[in-house]
Amino acid sequence: MVLKAFFPTCCASADSGLLVGRWVPEQSSAVVLAVVHFPFIPIQVKELLAQVQQASQVGVTVLGTWCHRRQEPEESLGHFLEGLGAIFSHKPWFQLCRERGSKSWSCKTTRWQGPASPAASGEDQVMLIFYDQRKVLLSQLHPPAALPDRQAGDTTASAGGLAAVFDTVARSEALFQSDQFDEGPVRLSHWQSEGVEASILVELAKWAAGPVCLFLTCLLSLVSAASACRVFKLWPLSFIWSKLSTCEQLRHRLEQLTLIFSTRKAKNPAQLMRKANMLASVLLDVALGLMLLSWLHRKDLIGQLADTLIPVADLRLLVVAVQGLIHLLVDLINSLPLYSLGLRLCRPYRLAAGVKFRVLEHETGRPLRLLMQINPLPYSRVVHIYRLPTCGCHPKHSWGSLCRKLFFGELIYPWRQRGNKQD
């Protein structure tokens, strides 16, 4: 039987200790999340794992032992590592070891029959798979509808078998909150082994986001209540509001801002991505609008354009064409997932379409060592999945109808119809 052990690359230099993670029986694989360093008290390790299970709802347990032979191993350490299987009973029990002064790794499994009597080691073969814990933690796995082409020496894997691995790492964030510099009784090694990654500016932004969003939500609710007043539903105000595209844009943006500044937490990563895309769309729309207004008001360009276009009979076709282009540009900004595209460009591993495995080492009598690399989602799939709904303010006329109206004079004199024309 072939067993797979997913081992984080950040723990390759960890001191000897216990392998903490989750066993996925349907995949016959073990996902290692952290290494518990010596010395430790077993009851304290069990209490830590119980707290993590309660917080993350993930069956985190001790999978086996980890031995890093920086020096010649002592006989007492070897016997102690073997005896831990009686305290933290798990089936199968992994014994992973990194040889001293070389890149060789050894891994064997033992299936314990009872608390004190081990069974004979079976014929289980172990496949050791290294993964970047930080990237897997921050990634969101998508169905691999269009994976990139296979490369030489690489194999692709289905997302169904890897969903448990990504889900385990993502939901075990409570385990990564403590690191080896904490004063707690249990010292761990994981992706934050060099210290908790945090920033004062980020923490201040998190603290300030709540009150700011609450204030803006109240302000937007007042604006919505004012816009729903009966006065604006009377004629001719209702007629004007229905004909002006600016009012439709304001209504659409008001709905987006209400969703963005809502104090409710996003239910899933897809909703969080949608909020981020809406925020990026609003910011870009406002920035482009301010730039256009500043350019038009500089040197009285609005007056110059009016003086140039009004005497020309063709006021109108150019104006309508520019208006249509502005509509299309605004519609594109409203629907384009700018944040997702920027995330795909700067952090491609955040949007994962699948993984590929690259062979690191394969020796006879040694476990097969593979490196798991994340395949990013193609740009076309990013646009298809995270595309935002538009406001529906499309141009009312096509280019063909505009040219026909220009030919018959209806575009220059819109109050005249073809039936009222005289020779």
Domain residues of the chain, as ranges?
2-189
For 139, the 3-state DSSP assignment is coil
Residues 6+ apart with CB under 8 A from 396: none
Q: What totals of helices (H) and strands (E) does the chain contain, helices first?
A: 13, 12
Q: Which residue has the higher pLDDT, 295 or 20?
A: 20
Q: Which of 70-74, 382-386, 395-399 has the lowest mean pLDDT?
A: 70-74
**Confidence check: pLDDT of 77 > 80:** no
Q: What is the pLDDT of residue 14?
A: 85
The neighbouring-strand residues paired with 18 are 36, 65
Query: Residue 92: is the preceding peptide bond cis (ω within 30°)?
Result: yes
- The token duo for 181 is 């510099």
Asked if the model's pLDDT at residue 419 lies above 60, the reply is no
pLDDT of residue 351: 93
Helix locations, 33-147, DSSP H:
42-56, 75-87, 133-138
Model confidence at 413: pLDDT above 60: no
Alpha-carbon distance 199 to 189, whole Å?
A: 21
359 vs 322: which has the higher pLDDT: 359
pTM of the model: 0.74
Q: How confident is the model at residue 261 (pLDDT cuts 50, 70, 90)?
A: confident
Is the domain 2-189 a CATH 3.40.140 member?
yes
Does 420 or 21 have the greater pLDDT score?
A: 21
Average pLDDT of the chain is 77
The Cα–Cα gap between 247 and 10 comes to 54
Q: Render pLDDT for 111-147 as a digit per residue (tens, 0 to 9).
A: 755 444 444 445 578 889 999 999 999 898 886 433 3
What confidence score (pLDDT) does residue 223 get? 79
pLDDT of residue 136: 93
- Measure CA 396 to chain center: 38
Instruction: Give pLDDT, residue 241.
Output: 67
Using CA atoms, how far apart are residues 94 and 363, in angstroms rounded to an integer? 19
Residues 274-304: tens digit of each pLDDT: 888 988 988 888 888 888 888 878 777 777 7
